[in-house]
């Protein structure tokens, strides 16, 4: 499997991704604003509007990190479980939850590839900017399908490839030349941001990823590109 520009063993990738997020955890939120010019907030708002969380619903926010999606879901009254493989990210998230008065969220350490939740437990599963970091994506998608009840919904927010010509080049320049430098300046960590950019470049394109979601058992799969596909919302239903 690939870790940035390198080919590594699956366990090694999982370990290195762990390192990346342990390194950036404390600066993660400020970096998101810096790198996206605040736009990640709008993408996340739109994502949660698509999920349409309802009061009392059980939602699993996988790779939930520092809680950005979970807080939005909980605002709508959903019962949210935040799961992430990285304890440092969860710790930052729990601190933010406390500061904002969210006291009903459940925080749990878990690898998306193998979950301990029972079958058909959740009404919805969300994963935002998480799936491309997962080593074995088909396993994670199968697990998502397993823990959803019938009629449950799957939603994924992820960087993809923009199909707008001029914009694609500008983004390429920005991501390869600017992002690692900003990473160095603010988070003192150029390598982690190089990995994050390279992992975006290597992520399957929109039709391929949509097909993978279908292969995991989801139906009525859909993709909604934003900025020509720079960011995309993929979704599907379990029946």
Q: Which long-range CB contacts under 8 A does 204-213 form with residues at least 24 apart? A: 205/160, 205/161, 206/160, 206/161, 206/232, 206/234, 209/156, 209/158, 209/160, 209/234, 210/234, 212/137, 212/138, 212/141, 213/141, 213/154, 213/156
Q: Judged by CB, which is closer to ligand SAM: 164, or 182?
A: 182
Tell me the per-residue interface mask from 130 to 159 with ligand SAM, x by CB under 6 A, - otherwise.
Answer: x--xx-------------------------
Which residue in 53, 64, 180, 183 binds ligand SAM (CB under 6 A)?
Answer: 64
- Calpha distance 191→184 (Å, rounded): 8
Among 3, 4, 13, 17, binds ligand SAM (CB under 6 A): 17
Contacts of residue 24, defined as CB under 8 A and 6 or more positions apart, other chains included, come to 31, 187, 189, 192
Site for ligand SAM in 101-120 (CB under 6 A): 111-113
What is the nearest approach in angstroms of ligand SAM to the Cβ of residue 215?
19
Contact between 21 and ligand SAM by CB under 6 A: the answer reads: yes
- Contacting residue, 85, 144, 230, 233, with ligand SAM by CB under 6 A: 85
Residue 90, C-beta contacts closer than 8 angstroms, at least 6 positions apart: 64, 65, 82, 84, 107, 108, 109
- Interface region with ligand SAM, contact rule CB under 6 A, candidates 58-66, 170-178, 186-194, 205-213: 58-66
Q: How far is the CB of 145 from ligand SAM (least distance, A)?
A: 16
- The values of phi and psi at residue 106, to 5°, are -105, 130
- Examine residue 125 and tell whether it contacts ligand SAM (CB under 6 A): no
Cα 195 from Cα 199, distance rounded (Å): 6
The residues of the shown chain that bind ligand SAM, judged by CB under 6 A, are 17, 21, 63-65, 68-69, 84-86, 89, 111-113, 128-130, 133-134
| Residue set of the binding site for S-adenosyl-L-methionine | 66, 84, 111-112
């Amino acid at each position: 499997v690939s870790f940035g520009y390198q080919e590594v063993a699956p366990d090694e990738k999982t370990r290195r991704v762990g390192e990346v997020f342990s390194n950036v955890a404390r600066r993660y939120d400020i970096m998101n604003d810096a790198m996206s010019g605040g736009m990640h907030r709008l993408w996340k708002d739109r994502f949660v509007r698509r999920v349409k969380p309802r009061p009392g619903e059980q939602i699993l926010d996988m790779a939930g990190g520092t809680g950005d999606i979970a807080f939005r879901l909980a605002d709508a009254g959903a019962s949210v479980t935040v799961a992430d493989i990285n304890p440092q990210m969860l710790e930052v998230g729990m601190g933010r939850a406390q500061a904002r008065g969210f006291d009903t969220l459940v925080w749990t350490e878990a690898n998306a590839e193998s979950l301990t939740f029972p079958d058909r437990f959740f009404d919805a599963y969300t994963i935002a900017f998480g799936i491309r970091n997962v080593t074995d994506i088909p396993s994670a998608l199968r697990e998502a399908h397993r823990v959803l009840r019938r009629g449950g919904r799957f939603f994924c927010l992820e960087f993809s490839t923009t199909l707008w010509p001029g914009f694609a080049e500008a983004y390429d320049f920005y991501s390869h030349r600017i992002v690692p430098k900003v990473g160095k300046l603010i988070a003192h960590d150029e390598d982690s941001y190089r990995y994050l950019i390279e992992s975006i470049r290597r992520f399957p394109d929109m039709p391929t990823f949509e097909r993978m979601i279908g292969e995991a058992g989801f139906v009525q799969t859909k993709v909604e590109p934003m900025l020509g596909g720079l960011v995309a919302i993929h979704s599907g239903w379990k029946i």
